Structure 1
Amino acid sequence: MAEFSGRTALRAQGRRVAAALGGRQPSGTRHPLVAVAMVLPLAIVLAVVFGGWEAVMTQASSVVGMLGR
């Protein structure tokens, strides 16, 4: 039980430090299009470097299909 209270205290201390430095608490939710915009540039670079353009296009079409629901 002491391990849990220690972690909780450490987390609370981290939140206090972040608040003092002007940090923002993450909300834990992100719009799916924002996530796609974050990942897409890296996916394109990896596809070009490793030659897996077809696999990337297949995954992208799957993501678009899921977002369209």
Structure 2
Amino acid sequence: MAYTAERAVIRARGRRILDTVGVRESGTRHPLVAAVMVLPFAVLLTVVFGGWEAVVTQASSVAGMLGR
């Protein structure tokens, strides 16, 4: 029992510290916020590795298969 009580105290302290810092332990992020966080990195990777040509090639292939 004492071991379980110690763990509960440690967890409670950890939660208080996370709340003070402003970090949520198990929260969800709005999808638009996630997109805003990821898009700059995605654009950078697209430019650096020439991904734009690959996207255009794949889109034209799909359009060709659909008969357009």
TM-score, normalisation: structure 2: 0.50
Q: Which has the higher contact order (CA 8 A, sep 6+)?
A: 1
